[in-house]
Amino acid sequence: MSTFKELIRQVKSEIREVSVDEARKLSAGGAVVVDVREADEWSQGHVPGAVFIPRGFLEQRIEEKVPDKAQEVVVYCAGGTRSAFGARTLRDLGYANVTSMRGGFGQWKEAGFPILVPKTLSAEQKSRYSRHLLVPEVGEAGQTRLLEAKVLLVGAGGLGSPAGLYLAAAGVGTLGLVDSDKVDLTNLQRQVLHTTATVGRPKTESAEITLRALNPDVRVVRHDLRLEAGNVMEVIAPYDVILDGCDNFSTKYLVNDAAVLSGKTNVYGSIFRFDGQASTFVPRQGPCYRCLYPEPTPSEMAPSCDEAGVLGVLPGVVGLIQATEVIKAILGKGDLLVGRLLTYDALAMTFRQFKVRRDPKCAVCGEHPTIKTPTDLEWSCHFEPRAAAPAGVGV
Ligand SMILES: [Zn+2]
């Protein structure tokens, strides 16, 4: 019967140890670094790029993480003992190039080498987002991405309302709101961010009150202004994804051009009476709004909700399609509406989709773009036209 001291001496004599310096060089040269500590140790910081397999699961999981037994592997723990046992286990499993990092993570930190502290959710967040955490496509990593994401809602009206509510509930950490209007009583039939109590107050302020009450995790950034050529690039700069919920042409073209020029994903939606449409424009991967509608429609041909009316629940459906696209874009999951125009007819209760191709002659995303900076449209324009499916692109 040997003592632990004798056992560890025996194990260390059978394996190869490297210093933290050498481990760092091996890692830079392509070695797989395996952290065999426990989850709470890992969550307090680890070697960047390391693979996490707690010692108790090493035999079970190593082949899945490192299938090639000739691969150079560096094992580490907190001080170099568990990793020595781990290295011997890997050797016994047939791994030919295994080393244990002497002094472990403690020495790595002492040497001043970079460490990565993974973001973790608080107990309250784990509870708030528990139904997301159960979904494999979201999980803790996805929820962390949502919390770190910055989404700009252009318009806190019909489309921005349902989108803003659900994005806040989902834990999108930063929501920017662009709107220069005040809440009007006629808005309340559909703009569910606002309430009777906030009539007369700026929409961004009213929206902030609602969103903060729903989820204090969300930082609301108010942009109480009209987007113009002179401010659009600066306003959208901090954001990862743009949700276009505006109700007029000039802003739609402006947001589209600014999104293309800055390489940002722009999730588009529009509504008219019983009809809605949505698409997602990802620069260089698919068409943009100008590929779909190259020429702005003169304002007199584009009646507004104020002039033509809109079914109150319609923006709920379209705004939530947009919110769904935003969440998928942040998570990097599923198929976005890239190159597809989705149309919704509430009277017939039908959805249709149309293929939309990138136009090589597009003024902003084509091969020879003529729009190189955002420009205001010359005429004052109004609202979206009837959400009609463009001819000849049906699928
Ligand atoms: Zn285009």
Whether the per-residue pLDDT at 93 is higher than 90: the answer is yes
Q: How far is the CA of 111 from the centre of ligand 1 (A)?
A: 51
pLDDT at 376: 83
Ligand 1 center–CA 372 separation, angstroms? 12
Query: Mean pLDDT in the chain?
Result: 92
Distance 375 CA to ligand 1 centre (A): 15
How many angstroms does the Cα of residue 81 sit away from the middle of ligand 1?
Answer: 59
Q: List the one residue out of 316, 275, 278 whose CA is nearest residue 189.
A: 316
User: What's the CA-to-centroid distance between 293 and ligand 1, angstroms?
Assistant: 9
* Cα 286 to ligand 1 centre (Å): 8
pLDDT at 389 (0 to 100): 44
Q: Which residues are placed with Cβ below 5 angstroms of ligand 1, an ion?
A: 288, 290-291, 362, 365
pLDDT tens track for 264-313 = 999 999 999 999 999 999 999 999 999 999 877 665 456 666 667 899 99
Distance 164 CA to ligand 1 centre (A): 27
Distance 360 CA to ligand 1 centre (A): 8
Q: Model's pTM, two decimal places?
A: 0.74
pLDDT for residue 208 is more than 80: yes
- Are the beta carbons of 250 and 227 closer than 8 angstroms? no
How far does the centroid of ligand 1 lie from the alpha carbon of residue 358, in Å? 6
Average pLDDT rounded to a whole number, residues 247-273: 95
